Each structure stands twice: as structure tokens, then as C-alpha cells.
């Protein structure tokens, strides 16, 4: 196992009807900015619950944060923050709203010329407003990590800082019942791939991390499709297991002390930045191709994945790997997400543009061995056609 330091201070309130607890988590004298997205929280009753909980606080609101939050939209919030002297952010929504609130938290106290530098130049965040979250879409893990992804004119860039990790997060599985099938699928797939990117590398004998990862993968494979089926759709135990899996998938625990390979995400971000494809739907296309192209380097872990996650018993390891990749794609298809670029109408002649963008964004040495060069990314994209 590799050396690591681990701390995750986000306090989680998990379960039905916990939203009222935000009242005691946010300091009584705080001036709160409630930030949210396009309005789903108004139609599913979450907004009303939050407003009721904030009855004794001074609060303002900023809405309109779109999926794959845009820099220009987020920057508009700085006006009200300054005017009203806001000193606490409450994000209510999915990963885009939470990520957006994180950027706002850092941008509000940024002392350089342009907060975009936090993303484009990776200027370290020195100060940030404190924030909390009410999560409405289990997927990204953003509710208890320090990561955020922001888009500006097709450039979709990540930044990370412990200063933007939410202080608390409320996870009520009931609020996920209003999600569309597409968003349920996206969430399950995003979480699944977060686990894979911290697992499918090479063994450092991190038995705890491996077995946690395998448990999460099996849970998502078991519960994901049930959340789409009419008979089990409204089952809150299924929703709860998905929600907790998604948080655990990217709260820092799985990745501590093991190598990681975020190439699927980095290549996927270019598909979202360039073509507006949903985040998870880029990942379901790229991951199988990464598994195939990096099969040799990932051999040991692929065999372990085949045996422990899919319970394959073939004696020939290559057969086991073939079947495991096929079963992974089958699972993605059952979750109704694409597994090939052709399904989203992206053709070979568009790969050059994607490679150029990877180069512009410095994504030239991806993977656990930093050996996913632009040439290898090209092979991955060609494999995904």
C-alpha cells in the first residue's frame, strides 16, 4: 500500500426527512446564500423544506446553475455576495450545483485578477467561504469531497481544494424519487466509474481499498437496474444504497493509498466540453475502451475484477478478462447509457479535435503510469468508435 494521509471532515446526515438539520449546522448569525439549479427543487418540495429550515436565518438565493456549471453563470453570484455580505453558501442540488457553489466559494475570496485562474492555471485556493450541501442527485461525490468542475466556452476544467469541501451534507434518498431515468442512470454510472478509476490500476496489496471498491461495484450493479424498473423504482432502500455508494465512491476513502487512473474522466470531459454530452454518458463510452487498450498494464486487476466482481471462474485469464469487459458493457446497456461514440453520432474525423483539446488542457500523460499519451488517447477514442 502507498503512504497516505486521510481526513474527511464533511458531516453527513443520511436518511429520510433530515433536511431540517441544516438549521443547526449553519451558524445562527451567518448570512446565507442558497444556491440551486434550474428549479427541480421547487417542483419536488426540497426548496420548501430548505426554506422552512432556514426560517431563523438571514438568507438570500441565487439560482440558474446549469448542468456542467458555467463560469459566466457562477460569476454572476459574486454581485449578491458582495452586496449582502454573504458569509455562508448552501448548495441544494446535484453535482453541478455543489461544484458551482465550490467555485463561487473560492471566487468570492480570490485575490488575483481572474478567478478563472483557479481552473486554467491551477492557482491554489487560499481562502474560501464555508459551504454546506443538500444533495438531490447521487452521482459525483461532490457533497463530501473538495473537487469541482467548471466549464467556460467548451473548456471543462477541474480544480480541487480542501477549503471547498462541504462542512456538512444532507443525503435524503427520498428526494431522489423525482429524478428522471436518465439522471438515475447517469448517477449510477458516474459512481461506478469513480470506483473503477481508483481500482483498475495495478495491485499495491491494498486489500481494504480493493474490497471496499468491489463491494461498491457489486452494490451498484445489483441496485442500479432496480432503480429503473417499474416494480422497484420507488423503493427507498434501493435509493439509499445507491446514494451512499455514490458518496463513498468519491469521498477520498477508496483512493487513499492506491494508484489511480482518471483518464476516462479526462477524456470524457472533452466530450462534454466539445459536444455537450452528459458527464456519465461520456464515461460509459470511454471506460470499456480504456479497459481494452490498457489491458496489458491492467492485467492483474482486470483478472481480480473478473473473479471478485463478476464471479468468473474460467481458467484462461484472457477469457476471464474478455467476459468481464463484456459484462461491464452489458451492465451499462442495462442502465441505458451508450457504450460507443457512434451511439452519440461522433465519428472518426472528430477525434483530431478531441486530441487537440486534450493537448491544450495538458492532458498528455494520463493514467496510473502517466503513459496515456495523446497517441494512446487517440487509440482509446478509436477503439470507442
Residues contributing to the site for Zn ion (CB under 5 A): 190
Residue 330 CA from chain centroid, whole number: 22
- For 186-200, letters b (16+ CB in 10 Å) and e give bbbbbbbbbbbbbbb
Among 27, 39, 45, 300, binds ligand NZQ (CB under 6 A): 39
Residue 250, burial from CB neighbour count under 10 angstroms (0-12, 13-18, 19+): buried
**Selection from 236, 325, 345, 251 nearest residue 284 by Cα:** 325
Shortest Cβ 266–Zn ion spacing (Å): 11
CB 198, min distance to ligand NZQ, A: 12
Cell of 185: 442512470
Picked from Zn ion, ligand NZQ, none, the partner binding residue 155 (CB below 5 to 8 A depending on kind) is: none
Q: Which of residues 248-267 bind ligand NZQ (CB under 6 A)?
A: 250, 265
Q: Is 279 in the site for ligand NZQ (CB under 6 A)?
A: yes
Q: Please report, for residues 42, 213, 266, the alpha-carbon distance to residue 376 in angstroms, rounded to integers and kept in the order given.
A: 45, 26, 13
- Pick the binder of ligand NZQ from 10, 123, 186, 241 (CB under 6 A): 186
Residue 377 interacting with ligand NZQ (CB under 6 A): no
Contact flag: residue 216 with ligand NZQ (CB under 6 A): no
Binds ligand NZQ by CB under 6 A, chosen from 26, 30, 81, 97: 97
| Cβ proximity to ligand NZQ, 20 vs 295, nearer residue | 20
The answer to whether the CB of 175 falls within 8 A of the CB of 44 is: yes
Q: Which residues contact 86 (CB under 8 A, 6 or more apart)?
A: 31, 32, 33, 60, 80, 108, 129
- Closer residue to ligand NZQ (CB): 173 or 206: 173
The neighbouring-strand residues paired with 135 are: 93, 171
> Could you tell me which of 284, 264, 250 has the C-alpha nearest to residue 182?
284
Q: Which does 245 bind (CB under 5 to 8 A by kind): ligand NZQ, Zn ion, none?
A: none
Q: Which residues of the chain form contacts with ligand NZQ (CB under 6 A)?
A: 37-41, 44, 67-68, 93-97, 99, 136-137, 139-142, 145, 147-149, 175-176, 178-179, 183, 186-187, 190, 250, 265, 279
Amino acid at each position: 500500500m502507498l503512504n497516505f494521509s486521510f481526513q474527511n471532515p464533511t458531516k453527513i446526515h443520511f436518511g429520510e426527512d433530515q433536511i431540517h438539520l441544516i438549521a443547526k449546522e449553519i451558524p445562527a448569525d451567518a448570512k446565507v446564500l442558497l444556491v440551486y439549479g434550474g428549479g427541480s427543487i421547487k417542483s419536488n418540495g426540497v426548496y420548501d423544506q430548505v426554506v422552512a429550515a432556514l426560517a431563523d436565518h438571514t438568507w438570500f438565493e441565487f439560482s440558474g446553475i446549469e448542468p456542467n456549471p458555467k463560469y459566466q453563470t457562477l460569476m454572476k453570484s459574486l454581485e449578491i455576495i458582495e452586496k449582502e455580505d454573504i458569509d455562508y453558501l448552501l448548495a441544494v442540488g446535484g453535482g453541478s450545483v455543489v461544484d458551482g457553489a465550490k467555485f463561487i466559494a473560492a471566487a468570492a475570496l480570490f485575490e488575483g485578477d481572474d478567478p478563472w485562474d483557479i481552473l486554467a492555471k491551477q492557482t491554489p485556493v487560499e481562502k474560501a467561504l464555508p459551504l454546506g450541501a443538500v444533495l438531490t442527485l447521487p452521482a459525483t461525490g461532490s457533497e463530501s469531497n473538495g473537487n469541482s468542475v467548471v466549464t467556460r466556452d467548451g473548456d471543462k476544467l477541474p480544480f480541487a481544494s480542501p477549503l471547498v469541501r462541504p462542512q456538512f451534507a444532507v443525503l435524503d434518498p427520498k428526494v431522489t424519487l423525482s429524478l428522471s431515468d436518465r439522471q438515475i442512470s447517469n448517477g449510477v454510472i458516474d459512481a461506478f466509474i469513480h470506483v473503477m478509476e481508483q481500482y483498475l490500476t495495478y495491485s499495491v496489496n491494498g486489500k481494504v481499498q480493493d474490497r471496499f471498491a468491489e463491494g461498491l461495484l457489486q452494490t451498484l450493479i445489483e441496485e442500479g437496474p432496480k432503480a429503473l424498473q417499474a416494480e422497484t423504482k420507488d423503493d427507498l432502500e434501493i435509493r439509499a444504497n445507491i446514494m451512499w455508494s455514490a458518496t463513498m465512491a468519491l469521498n477520498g476513502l477508496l483512493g487513499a493509498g492506491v494508484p489511480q487512473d482518471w483518464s476516462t474522466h479526462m477524456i470524457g470531459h472533452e466530450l462534454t466540453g466539445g459536444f455537450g454530452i452528459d458527464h456519465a454518458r461520456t464515461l460509459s463510452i470511454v471506460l470499456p475502451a480504456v479497459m481494452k487498450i490498457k489491458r496489458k498494464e491492467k492485467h492483474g486487476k482486470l483478472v481480480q475484477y473478473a473473479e471478485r466482481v463478476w464471479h468468473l471462474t474460467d481458467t484462461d485469464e484472457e477469457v476471464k478478462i474478455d467476459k468481464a469487459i463484456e459484462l461491464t458493457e452489458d451492465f451499462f446497456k442495462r442502465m441505458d447509457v451508450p457504450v460507443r461514440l457512434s451511439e452519440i453520432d461522433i465519428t472518426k474525423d472528430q477525434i483530431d479535435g478531441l486530441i487537440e483539446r486534450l493537448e491544450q488542457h495538458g492532458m498528455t500523460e494520463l493514467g496510473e503510469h502517466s503513459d496515456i499519451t495523446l497517441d494512446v488517447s487517440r487509440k482509446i477514442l478509436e477503439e470507442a468508435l
